[in-house]
Amino acid sequence: MAHDPHGRIAPRTAEDLRRAELVGPPWWADQRRAVGAGAGAALLFTGLFLLARAGWLRHRPSSDHPIEADPTLVAILAVTLGVMWPVLLVSTSRPDQGFRVRGLAALLALAVLVVGAIDLVTIGVWSLLMDGRAPTASTLMTMTSDPLALLTVGAVTVTVHAWSAACVVGFVRLTPLRLVLALPTFLAVVGLGSWRAIAAFEQPPSPNTLLAWSLIALLGLLSLAVLALVDEHRSTRG
């Protein structure tokens, strides 16, 4: 088989598959893809927020009650952004399923922080367009003027992105143990994450809330890094 450093030629043997999975595309190409997916999702969800703000977003077409552009909606959109982002990175056309083996830990750790920052700015813009739809002392409404509120929203976004990415990496390289660990974790991110994010956005900022979200975000980043490093170690040995 011809030398193919970027995996453009379809591999034909098990050894070719393993080599293509190990090499993958250039690291910065994958980083751009990850950040681009996050930016695209943020633009899409900004469109949904603007539809809700204009009163055009409803639970169902026949409903007379529009979905309010309030902290509950913003929290749900923020969590959905984080959950959807790693799913957008899955690529069945690549031997590595869209998640490179070498350098994955550093790539995803950086991407989580960059995409989290993009979403933080996006949520900040949404908060400026709320027009009194949220308590003025809430974390969401004070995030552009209170560093404590800003850091809390940032911790929420990093938490959801990190844990969702860890779960998706577990799903694409599935083992029975990973299924047992990743599935309930993913469901917890969606369910508990939305519930607690709504509470965090609606309530006034507090150091305890920031500390709790920051610790969970750190655990998510560590779990993601460990999972990626284990995959790299196993692949290079195998």
Is residue 6 in some structural domain? Answer: no
Is residue 1 in some structural domain? Answer: no
Is residue 11 in some structural domain? Answer: no
Is residue 4 in some structural domain? Answer: no
Say how far apart CA 40 and CA 46 lie, in whole Å: 10
Strand partners of residue 58: 66
Is residue 191 in some structural domain? Answer: yes
Q: Residue 1's pLDDT is what? A: 46
Q: What percentage of the chain carries pLDDT values higher than 90? A: 66
Is residue 14 in some structural domain? Answer: no
Q: Residue 25's pLDDT is what? A: 86
> What is the sign of the dihedral through the CA atoms of 207, 213, 216 and 217?
negative
Residue 187 has pLDDT above 80, yes or no: yes
Is residue 30 in some structural domain? Answer: yes
Residue 21 has pLDDT above 70, yes or no: no
CB under 8 Å to 108, separation ≥6 — which residues?
34, 99, 165, 169, 224, 225, 228
> Predicted confidence band at 13 (pLDDT cuts at 50, 70, 90)?
low
Say how far apart CA 30 and CA 36 lie, in whole Å: 10
Say how far apart CA 204 and CA 137 lie, in whole Å: 6
Say how far apart CA 7 and CA 162 lie, in whole Å: 27
Residue 46 has pLDDT above 90, yes or no: yes
Q: Residue 130's pLDDT is what? A: 87
Is residue 55 in some structural domain? Answer: yes
Strand partners of residue 66: 58
Is residue 87 within 8 A of residue 116, CB to CB? The reply is no
Cβ burial of 175 (10 Å; 0-12, 13-18, 19+) is exposed
pLDDT digits (tens, 9 = 90+) for 215-226: 999 999 999 999
Split into its structural domains, the chain has a count of 1
Range of the domain at 128: 26-237
pLDDT digits (tens, 9 = 90+) for 95-154: 888 998 888 888 999 999 999 999 999 999 999 998 777 788 999 999 999 999 999 999
For residues 16 and 94, which has the higher predicted lDDT (pLDDT)? 94
